[in-house]
Amino acid sequence: MSVRSYFMAKYYDASMKKMERACLSRWRSELLSDISGDVLEIGSGTGANLPYYPQSIHRLVLSEPESHMRDLLRQHINQTPGGKCTAESSSADKLSFPDNSFDSVVSTLVLCSVDSPDTALHEIKRVLKPGGKLYFIEHVLAKDAPHLIKWQRLVQPLWRYMCGNCHTARDTERHISDAGFTFETLEKLHASGAPSLVSPTIKGVAKR
Ligand SMILES: C[S@@+](CC[C@H](N)C(=O)[O-])C[C@H]1O[C@@H](n2cnc3c(N)ncnc32)[C@H](O)[C@@H]1O
């Protein structure tokens, strides 16, 4: 395991604190307030969404392929009452679950980091039951600010190297739509507290 992934896990929560306070905590809470049934979260990181899941959900599987992140995730799960939650190591491009096994899939700040968003979304669709829903918060290509796009593209190789394969110029809205999902809600937001390159954000729910 690389030194970079060790440090990314160790300092992830601290590095996100300003943005969590400014907007992300509220967005997580709004997104997950009415989620239900059997829920899979991909790329759970250290478990930042854990406090926002309603008690009423039936089952929660948190999947995180990176081992240092997963160690911290397990610690946070152990501190969370309820006992409905398990940690898994699946990568989003090869989910180890049968077809049609979840009512909801959650992805927050993950589709920027997978190698192929199309493959990940195909897998998400496969494990969702018919009519199941993808809940997402993702930073995206600055389609409403063309001057920023050139910087997002220019900086992307270095940003990917420094920040765990995170792509600054990904058109995730288009990838979700191309995968055959229908948007139930789609908000276009700007994350205060984040560097401007990763500030343009989409938040919403898309139906399989
Ligand atoms: C920016 S962090 C987001 C963590 C968390 N979802 C959150 O909202 O704070 C990106 C996460 O995606 C994970 N990740 C990267 N590639 C992945 C993949 N192919 N499948 C699933 N997760 C992946 C990383 O290990 C990391 O935990």
Per-residue pLDDT reduced to its tens digit, 87-115: 999 999 999 999 999 999 999 999 999 99
Instruction: Give the CATH number, domain containing residue 96.
Output: 3.40.50.150
In this predicted structure, what is the pLDDT of residue 59?
95
CA of 109 relative to ligand 1 center, distance in Å: 7
Tens of pLDDT, residue by residue over 119-132, are: 999 999 999 999 99
pLDDT, averaged across the chain? 95
Supply φ then ψ for residue 104, to 5 degrees.
-145, 145
Q: Is the CB of 85 under 6 A from ligand 1?
A: no
In this predicted structure, what is the pLDDT of residue 152?
98
Q: Is the CB of 117 under 6 A from ligand 1?
A: no
Cβ neighbours of 146 (radius 10 Å): 8
Beta carbons of 70 and 89 less than 8 angstroms apart = yes
Length of the chain: 208
**In this prediction, what percent of the chain has a pLDDT beyond 70?**
100
Q: Is the CB of 113 under 6 A from ligand 1?
A: yes
Instruction: Please name the residue whose Cα sits nearest to atom 26 of ligand 1.
Output: 45
User: With bands split at pLDDT 50, 70 and 90, how would you rate the model's confidence at 57?
Assistant: very high
User: With bands split at pLDDT 50, 70 and 90, how would you rate the model's confidence at 1?
Assistant: low
Beta carbons of 95 and 64 less than 8 angstroms apart = no
CA of 186 relative to ligand 1 center, distance in Å: 21
Instruction: Please name the residue whose Cα sits nearest to atom 27 of ligand 1.
Output: 45
Domain that holds residue 35: 3-207
Coil, strand or helix at 119: helix
Q: Is the CB of 128 under 6 A from ligand 1?
A: no
Q: How far apart are CA 113 and CA 166, in angstroms?
A: 4
- What is the token pair recorded at 83? 């006992």
User: With bands split at pLDDT 50, 70 and 90, how would you rate the model's confidence at 2?
Assistant: confident
User: With bands split at pLDDT 50, 70 and 90, how would you rate the model's confidence at 3?
Assistant: confident
Q: How far apart are CA 111 and CA 117, in angstroms?
A: 6
Q: Which letter does DSSP use for residue 73 in this model?
A: H
Number of independent structural domains in the chain: 1
CA of 81 relative to ligand 1 center, distance in Å: 23
